[in-house]
Chains A and B, each alone.
Chain A
Amino acid sequence: MAEKVLMKGNEAIAEAAILAGCRHYFGYPITPQTEIAAYMAKRMPKIDGTFLQAESEVAAINMVIGVAAAGGRVMTSSSSPGISLKSEGISYLAGCDLPALVINVQRGGPGLGGIQPSQSDYFQCVKGGGHGDYRNIVFAPASVQEMADMTVRGFELADKYRMVSMILADGTMGQMMEPVSLDIPEQKKYDKPWAVTGTKMERKHNIVNSLSLIPEELEQQNFDRFAKYAQIEENEVLYEEYMMEDAEVCVVAYGIAARVAKNAIVAARAQGVKVGMIRPITLWPFPKKVLNAAADKVKAFVTVEMSMGQMIEDVELATRCKKPVLLCNRAGGMIPTPEQVLAKINEAGGIN
């Protein structure tokens, strides 16, 4: 076990990416994720990697497409407004079936919004953001350790399934420091026979393209992609269950909101309230099965979100609206307090 180091979440993402074999980073500065770019700028030249500050987010994501098409492990990072700009490129990555890792360290929106932490890009990242039928694998780390671990897993699954992985963090997760172990296991090498690496006159051309003018063929591509997505929904769901054994109220929260919720759950338990939490670690695939099973046992759900209520729709869908789902939220860069969450837990506990 490697000795633990103290790192910001943003730095942990950058170092973990390098340890996972990422040698190409393209970005454009924006608070609160700039430490990722700064770290890459310092490290990449020393390990024969590429750090490039592009002229815009749009340029950066198109550079990502280029490296991904050539078979390299590649990432970009930004915060909310920048992810909007990258969304066209993310849709193209999906249409080309290319693996890449995209980091979103969210800030309050819409528009330029503010720079304080937020979770209001849930719809954007989990439901698509760009045009067309596609999915991203979306991770929601809730500690600096998970920032590192999910970065590694993000690369792994991107290569395995030839698609985009996203880390959906927020300003708090990016800025906070915690001890982290960077004991990264050796990475599996994925063959990429589809990559455009030069034919050496030994094989036919590979073409990476998202344009397909024959609707029958384009439909089939969509069918194939969704068959792959079904496998992912079956095999790649990650979540944490916390004090759920005897829970009558189930909190659902991810990232920093889950950290705050944990404090409230400890306080509620001290008052004798039977409450637990299901914390999605992957937001897509969403932990539907465990939530649906919980709906047969608990009285009510509480989603804690730093948005006007976005994940709540997925909780209602996953549980088939069998039980009431209450929303405990702040928006615009504000973070709920444990007291606010506790009050909502008590409200949910009073439902009969």
Chain B
Amino acid sequence: MTTQILIAGFGGQGVLFAGKLLAYKGMYDGKELSWLPSYGPEMRGGTANCSVIISDTPVGSPIVDKPDVLMVMNLPSLDKYENAVNAGGKIFVDSSFIERKVERSDVDAYYVPATKMAAEAGVPTLANMILLGKLLKETKVLDFEGLEGVFKKIVSAKRADLIDANLKALEIGYNYKD
């Protein structure tokens, strides 16, 4: 089983970190994985994306150009990648910023007003975690259990307050019913 995931949005929305969290979780769960960011002079204020592959077998190319799972946090990313998603794939949309619906009928689309929900929950910078929570729920690519342990390994003790906020955002997304 190999799942190819593409996460895209504006620079600053936390799309690279959302991918990194998947990568760390995959590693601690004993999966094979790769994480590859877009990089370039256009990133700040422009679009950013990362390719994450989670697999039971060694990963070949780390480049995801035909995702099974697409998570988009802005309209340009949905416009750019919607048609690339494999048939039967899943698309996760931050509907706070993206007003249109997914046009494909051969994929499952999930709409989460993540940015709005994040602001209401008092974690305005964590829309990425809310959308990622929904992604984990619907794709089951990795277990939701054990995320706290992962955060404890990757966040320094000085910033421990961030862990609770991130977990809260992930749970809000995980429990959201669209």
Contacts and interface: CB of A to CB of B under 8 A. Distances in A.
B39 A259 contact: no
Given A171-B39, A176-B34, A178-B34, A262 B61 contact: yes
A329 to B, nearest CB: 16
A259 B27 contact: no
Contact of A179 (B33, B36, B41): B33
A183 to B, nearest CB: 16
Given A31-B41, A171-B39, A177-B34, 9 more contacts: A115-B39, A115-B41, A178-B62, A259-B60, A260-B60, A260-B61, A262-B60, A337-B65, A338-B61
B23 interface: yes
A31 B38 CA distance: 12
Nearest to B24: A6
Contact of B33 (A178, A259, A335): A178
A337 B60 CA distance: 12
A323 B99 CA distance: 57
A260 B59 CA distance: 10
B122 interface: no
A234 B167 CA distance: 56
A176 B60 contact: no
B20 interface: yes
A197 interface: no
Nearest to A114: B40
Interface residues of A, number: 22
Contacts of A6: 20, 23-24, 27, 35
Contacts of B165: none
A256 B62 CA distance: 9
Interface string B90-113: 000000000000000000000000
Given A4-B27, A6-B23, A115-B40, A177 B60 contact: no
Name the residue in B40, B59, B62 with the highest tally of chain A Cβ atoms < 10 Å from its Cβ: B62
B141 interface: no
Interface in A165-187: 171-172, 175-179
Contacts of A116: 40
A285 interface: no
Contacts of A4: 27
Given A262-B60, A266-B60, A335-B63, A179 B27 contact: yes
8 contacts: A176-B34, A176-B37, A177-B20, A178-B33, A178-B62, A256-B61, A260-B60, A260-B61
Contacts of B23: 6, 177
What is the interface residue range for chain B against chain A?
A: 10 to 19
Interface string B4-37: 0000000000000000100110010000011111
A259 B61 contact: yes
Interface string B35-74: 1110111000000000000000001111101000000000
Contacts of B41: 31, 115
Name the residue in A115, A175, A179, A262 with the highest tally of chain B Cβ atoms < 10 Å from its Cβ: A179
A266 B2 CA distance: 13
Interface in A98-125: 115-116
Interface in A263-296: 263, 266
Contacts of B62: 172, 176, 178, 256, 259
Contact of B35 (A32, A176, A256, A335): A176
Contacts of A262: 60-61
A256 B61 CA distance: 7
Nearest to B51: A176
Interface string A234-268: 00000000000000000000001001101100100
